[in-house]
Structure 1
């Protein structure tokens, strides 16, 4: 039997590769996971950037440099207050909203724009009217709009997206926006609208909406020729989509899908004088199927009548000087397209201008406007001041119609690209598609200010730099030397490092600390480095194994508040200090790098502050060299490229820069005696404070930041609404916990005060000790009970340990005798029941004596009852004889004057933290054990109202916390390095087990943090609820007795 002849392939598909149908199915399954970043929910993308999760997916999606920049912007945005900012809605352009089906979880079923959906031919299902599936706008394409949103948030605006289904009628979309504006507060709302979003905004205003401002970016106020190109299948984006689609050609996409979209067809040109030809006349269109659906075309002009006219609160940003189709003519049964520079690559200038609306001009291309640093800066100016000087372009000074050229459809119809591989779409293919619709993914205008939009792009600069000079007119001269290696090996007069407040030095500082035999650790534990933003502390290196003469620390403030301005201040103050000290050079790493700050932003801040300091302070021009050290090869190359780029900008206009590069130096040999023995894993930090209090003071916001302990440290910030009543109820539940299981109350606590983003990040830090840094209000939270949900829930306090630090200003320097650490005997002062009214205190004193009275390496002295006078205690506190004081008695808290909080001595006389301020040689540790109910006694300074409130269930819990925390603050203000306390009266068995383990561990040379962790774990293993009872303020790495 003769074989049947295969049907001839249609002309439209003749010259393109067609994949077998079975490939479509395998592509569906294999690629939906491989390229799932395109299906991520927009809010989940922001969540992932905040938490650092799905890093590889997002780096593929945004590109590594843009992803790093967005991470930095996200951190800065999250550091801004949550409430009170003016509302701004961001409207995307046509095709700027994702379209698909909503799914639970991280990923939606995205049809547009998802390269996988395109590759397997699913765009056909977007044809209108819809057949069965209820598609919706799922979000915006974050690749294009997230940078704009974050910049708005950083500037203090409450920015949100308003996605819309761009396929549909603009009048219907305007009606939806009108309702959204009403829901958001009406006249107080401002709109930043890109492209088609501007028409949707004008439609909403034309239908009755009132807004504060409307800023239009590249809006085709009278249409564009881009829809003509799309419907004729010659638009670059349409051709690229067709090149990836294994089912549909460009002609099929245009004639069977895109031509059904009212939103696209309503943006055909409609200037007041009309066009020739008139694209709303169906007879103008060639009769080859590449034309709008007639019914949709006939109804399109009605949408134009609903568009609001000009008003004083409207501003237009129009693009010019990009190759744009500015004229279309009929010829030989088709169209010809004339290109000039009179447009933004998509919208002709003549169709963008709306008479009566103030207009600014930019050379940013149409689809890149929301990404363009200069455009964003101009938008911020307009929102704040109503005007801007950030757009210097004037079309009157440019010949935009010079050198026009014309192309026919046949010249434009050839596919720009063929897929040659089966199955998997490469990253290059993904980026290729997206660049067709978003424009360049990193704009040359990506700068911090609108007026600095001509900076050149960064290059690779992988070659070695030898005496490269970037010079201008005579001025300051600066040599910048790059060093690929450890800063501890740097050859410079001084080393400069940044230090966060309440964070132990890590990374480069730890390497230098090792060379200095732990000197930096000790100075930090003594609280000699405050870490306040811009404060400089200089210490000589002496005879330690370092080439530089000085190590200098500059404070970066709280890690949750680090931003470019803080980094600039730190750099400027460093230079000022060195100039005054006649130090002519210093080596540094990028300040703020320990927070995950984008190296390009950190480098710009470093150079900005350095130049500012040099120009103002170095009148003798004595400072000559900056050495930048970096160990990571990729980051090192990036730093070189960015520094050279910055040297050619206005930032460096007043200095002449010479670039040099040192050969990697061999590291110094560290002897075994000098080498520090690693102890616990590095700490993660949780910074929490209260803000945004409501008028009745019952509602507030908890702002929290996490500094991760991983090799790539990152700061994640989140905000959580909370109420005082919810917190009181949670505190009252503590007394109902049975056994040792705090998982329910601990999980409730975490959900109450921490955002879901923060909880997710903390869950990744399970292998690290956690340091909670809190303000006065958040000190009342029992952080030791906190649990993070998993299977089963886990408690940081018993996993790797949890300690506290207090964000009080002006804490005294810690004053212990270093010689006591090496003497081999734990000297303990036991203060028992000074007021003779606490049976629990008597038991505690007896227990400690029985546990350690016979231990030769432990020496106990005791002051009991009437012997524990204020005078006797002051004498012993400042004697320098004791490593620790264990106090079993009453304590009190003075909320008006925290330094006046303290303990109660014999005859009810107080000993406060202020009393300790003038003493030296204090013990390293004070252990306060509450031995009876925390009910408030009026005798220690509380009013009748205080007593009544404190004796409620929630009040008793809160007051016990208040006393413990207040005592810690008071004694640390007095100069005590570490203070341990309890929330509630400890059971006899729990107190005995904990004290035995804790003090024995300290005698064995264990750190305070590890001794506390072991004691908690022991009590939890025994089923005792007291494991969550102990809290520690101080340094987890502190050693009372060195072995």
Structure 2
């Protein structure tokens, strides 16, 4: 797969390099057997309305693996959730919904139109083809029919909302899947009680398109009966693109010839007067062309039309996240994307391993020249062409990564630069960009934040000064962070310096046992660590953790946490020696038999490894620096992050961790620009903003209720 002669310099100069051919596309499942016409029948009714407003015995939406609910699924989630934790969202974040294709997961409900709710698995995003959708619908109908109390089921057209299927493809899959399921229930099996399926669409034009698609698909499927009337229920909407289609259809009708006026429309003189008023502002030549094209458009049915209307960019904090999955695989990188409008099926980018390794190495603590020149190459080299258009500031970007692809410094992603177009700021500066690790374990369910003040544990400079692991800057950062959190109403436990180092007056030393006691017994919401981090390669496995003078604090000790912190921030330096935690001179992150990332140096793999350990024990958010950060910039990032984490004005929604990380990155980025104008910035200061990686759901709020000041209780914030 690799080509030793290929270099990054070759790509920058436009020299082509060999790559492996694309392997076969994601395999489709075996085709379903032909349906039997003698089985029971089901009636399908298209409903224009809001799914959760339509009465039914069972409400169902589709669910992609590891993707938190949005659109109809989010509406269903809110309808069934009575507390502060939306059930489906929380189960997704905990990894409790397997979402195998066609697998149905049920959720309890209260009172109201939604009496019973479920989601049906769609598999990983980007893999839902029409044949797989047929299997999904067959599994769904078979499951629903087996539930004794269900006579009516309400669902949406799964796969055509945030899916990669058209309305026609998804409608065809529904009919074929339902027919296959009904055929398996034929005699002598008693017919199911389920006799009607309501397919709900909130947009009026799409509801009309759906009715036509289902009617055509069921023409030769007598057991799937499509009602020809569009049923209306509460909550139906007309989105901007559909409204534009209706308006354009009406306008085109005015341009019909006088002898071909639409039945029931205005008389020709009235139509001509209205059309002339609309076109009055155009030049004569344009008016004639518009009339001509409108007359042609008048012959097109509105259900055959679709428009893409780009309105003003919505505020990113309230927009639907763009989720991208990047996984290492045979032949290169496998990508899939899920946006608010569509899912992009899987793409394979053939990648030369040597080139990617060199690129990751040069973008890890890069020189100023590399930080300027290589981000554009990163986007062109590893991002599929049709995915590059998604790298905008319209929405939060969530990257689902495996341990290999997590080594890539994705924070440098930028839009592909077009000739003559002004260079824009990197994506992670313009919007929220966060990471999620694809793992085989589930996040632990923890209690919400307790009443009273938020609690934080701050650890600074715990390394052994006798082995050269003392960090005065980490000590200063810990003190600054403790002061900032206390000022924000957080109750702080502070440990600074090793026991054999210079003591900080009034502050306990950072002994490993004392810190572990505080972690296990203190119920902290935030843990902030400033010091060295390293791999432990002295044992049989590959472990990573935080370096103390008396050893390495790892997941083995932290696994005992009953209530993991919500946020862990680690301004942790790359460590070349482990002191008593491992053999002297061991290189942090050195490759071992347990495996290593094929791309990038060990330093690039350190933060994902640490994040993996903490996410494993249930930490919701892990924020770490992938290379050394100047002391003053580490303090700036921390102070800016915590200030924005707790910033909320009257009536505003709860702050998110992703927004706070973006604000802190932006502060460092703008600081770098000022320093450059004043005489230049060194390599660390130039790209320190990109070193910070956030693992977690960028859109997840941190505070559960009220401002920090509302939760101080009688004691207020203290540093001890």
Distance 1:947 1:884, change over 3 A: closer
Match status 1:83 vs 2:22: yes
Any idea what SS the aligned residue of 1:706 has? strand
Report 1:802-951 matches (<5 A): 802-809=433-440, 811-820=441-450, 823=451, 825-836=453-464, 837-839=469-471, 840-853=473-486, 855=487, 857-864=489-496, 865=498, 872-873=514-515, 875-879=517-521, 881-893=523-535, 900-904=543-547, 907-912=550-555, 916-917=558-559, 919-930=561-572, 932-935=573-576, 937=578
Aligned partner of 1:578 among 130, 144, 147? 144
Any idea what SS the aligned residue of 2:92 has? helix
Distance 1:814 1:988, change over 3 A: same
Match status 1:631 vs 2:202: yes
d(CA) in 2 for partners of 1:550 and 1:533? 21
Which residue of structure 1 aligns with residue 348 of structure 2? 719
d(CA) in 1 for partners of 2:463 and 2:344? 47
Match status 1:688 vs 2:326: yes
Which residue of structure 2 aligns with residue 708 of structure 1? 339
Distance 1:796 1:772, change over 3 A: same
Match status 1:961 vs 2:604: yes
d(CA) in 1 for partners of 2:386 and 2:236? 42
Aligned partner of 1:1008 among 638, 652, 657? 657
Over the aligned positions, Cα root-mean-square deviation in angstroms equals: 3.8
d(CA) in 2 for partners of 1:797 and 1:835? 32
d(CA) in 1 for partners of 2:445 and 2:480? 29
Are the counterparts in 1 of residues 107 and 118 from structure 2 also a CA contact under 8 Å?
Answer: yes
Which residue of structure 1 aligns with residue 298 of structure 2? none
Any idea what SS the aligned residue of 2:390 has? helix
d(CA) in 1 for partners of 2:662 and 2:579? 36
Any idea what SS the aligned residue of 1:818 has? coil
Are the counterparts in 2 of residues 483 and 627 from structure 1 also a CA contact under 8 Å?
Answer: yes
Q: Deviations over 1:31-86 (max 9, x none)?
A: xxxxxxxxxxxxxxxxxxxxxxxxxxxxxxxxxxxxxxxxxxxxxxxxxx95356x
Q: CA deviation at 1:1033?
A: 0.9
Q: CA deviation at 1:607?
A: 3.6
Q: Which has the larger radius of gyration?
A: 1
Q: Deviations over 1:348-403 (max 9, x none)?
A: xxxxxxxxxxxxxxxxxxxxxxxxxxxxxxxxx9xxxxxxxxxxxxxxxxxxxxxx
Task: Please identify, of 610-619 and 970-979, the stretch whose mean Cα deviation from structure 2 is larger.
Answer: 610-619
Which residue of structure 1 aligns with residue 101 of structure 2? 533
Q: CA deviation at 1:617?
A: 7.3
Distance 1:84 1:980, change over 3 A: closer
Match status 1:1022 vs 2:586: no
Q: Deviations over 1:122-144 (max 9, x none)?
A: xxxxxxxxxxxxxxxxxxxxxxx
Match status 1:666 vs 2:237: no
Distance 1:717 1:532, change over 3 A: same
Q: CA deviation at 1:611?
A: 4.2
Q: CA deviation at 1:662?
A: 6.5
Any idea what SS the aligned residue of 1:742 has? helix
Report 1:593-604 matches (<5 A): 593=160, 594-604=162-172
Distance 1:937 1:642, change over 3 A: same
Aligned partner of 1:589 among 150, 156, 181? 156
Which residue of structure 2 aligns with residue 971 of structure 1? 614
Q: CA deviation at 1:587?
A: 1.1
Kindly tell me the number of residue pairs found equivalent between the two proteins: 556
Distance 1:477 1:634, change over 3 A: same
Q: CA deviation at 1:998?
A: 0.8
Distance 1:679 1:732, change over 3 A: closer
Q: CA deviation at 1:589?
A: 0.9
Which residue of structure 1 aligns with residue 258 of structure 2? none
Distance 1:617 1:1021, change over 3 A: farther
Any idea what SS the aligned residue of 1:862 has? strand
Distance 1:801 1:84, change over 3 A: closer
d(CA) in 1 for partners of 2:584 and 2:381? 31
Distance 1:957 1:942, change over 3 A: farther
Aligned partner of 2:74 among 510, 517, 522? 510
Report 1:263-412 matches (<5 A): none
d(CA) in 2 for partners of 1:926 and 1:842? 17
Any idea what SS the aligned residue of 1:817 has? coil
Which residue of structure 1 aligns with residue 626 of structure 2? 983
Any idea what SS the aligned residue of 1:1035 has? coil
Aligned partner of 2:57 among 490, 493, 498? 493
d(CA) in 1 for partners of 2:74 and 2:456? 32
Q: CA deviation at 1:792?
A: 0.4
Q: CA deviation at 1:1009?
A: 0.8
Report 1:738-817 matches (<5 A): 742-759=371-388, 761-763=389-391, 765-790=392-417, 791-809=422-440, 811-817=441-447
Distance 1:818 1:909, change over 3 A: same
Q: CA deviation at 1:884?
A: 1.1
Match status 1:558 vs 2:124: yes
Q: CA deviation at 1:1017?
A: 0.9
Q: Deviations over 1:528-570 (max 9, x none)?
A: 4344434432212325xx4111221222222122223432343
Any idea what SS the aligned residue of 1:831 has? strand
Which residue of structure 2 aligns with residue 294 of structure 1? none
d(CA) in 1 for partners of 2:27 and 2:145? 34
Q: CA deviation at 1:900?
A: 4.9
Any idea what SS the aligned residue of 2:492 has? strand
Distance 1:902 1:616, change over 3 A: farther
TM-score, normalised to structure 2, is 0.68
d(CA) in 1 for partners of 2:146 and 2:225? 22
Unaligned runs of 5+ in 2: 1-19, 238-314, 500-508, 648-653, 673-684, 707-720
Which residue of structure 2 aligns with residue 251 of structure 1? none
Task: Please identify, of 577-586 and 957-966, the stretch whose mean Cα deviation from structure 2 is larger.
Answer: 577-586
Q: CA deviation at 1:690?
A: 1.9
Aligned partner of 2:635 among 992, 995, 999? 992
Any idea what SS the aligned residue of 1:561 has? coil
Q: CA deviation at 1:678?
A: 9.4
Distance 1:509 1:818, change over 3 A: same
Q: CA deviation at 1:728?
A: 2.5
Choose between structure 1 and 2 for higher RCO, CA contacts under 8 A separated by at least 6 residues: 2
Q: CA deviation at 1:946?
A: 6.4
Are the counterparts in 1 of residues 333 and 348 from structure 2 also a CA contact under 8 Å?
Answer: yes
Q: Deviations over 1:779-817 (max 9, x none)?
A: 1100001222332044111111210111222x2234332
Distance 1:741 1:849, change over 3 A: farther
d(CA) in 2 for partners of 1:507 and 1:480? 22
Q: CA deviation at 1:916?
A: 4.7
Distance 1:663 1:612, change over 3 A: closer
Distance 1:802 1:84, change over 3 A: closer
Q: CA deviation at 1:901?
A: 4.1
Distance 1:715 1:678, change over 3 A: closer
Any idea what SS the aligned residue of 2:524 has? coil
d(CA) in 2 for partners of 1:915 and 1:949? 22
Are the counterparts in 1 of residues 127 and 346 from structure 2 also a CA contact under 8 Å?
Answer: no
Aligned partner of 1:483 among 24, 39, 47? 47
d(CA) in 1 for partners of 2:519 and 2:180? 48
Distance 1:757 1:591, change over 3 A: same
Are the counterparts in 1 of residues 56 and 153 from structure 2 also a CA contact under 8 Å?
Answer: yes
Distance 1:539 1:981, change over 3 A: same
Task: Please identify, of 568-577 and 631-640, the stretch whose mean Cα deviation from structure 2 is larger.
Answer: 568-577
Are the counterparts in 2 of residues 950 and 956 from structure 1 also a CA contact under 8 Å?
Answer: no
Q: CA deviation at 1:986?
A: 1.7
Q: Deviations over 1:573-619 (max 9, x none)?
A: 43454345434132111112212411222223334444444555795
Any idea what SS the aligned residue of 2:351 has? strand
Unaligned runs of 5+ in 1: 1-80, 86-152, 157-380, 382-447, 453-470, 670-676, 693-699
Q: Deviations over 1:884-913 (max 9, x none)?
A: 11122343457999995444456214421x
Report 1:516-527 matches (<5 A): 516=81, 519=86, 520-527=88-95
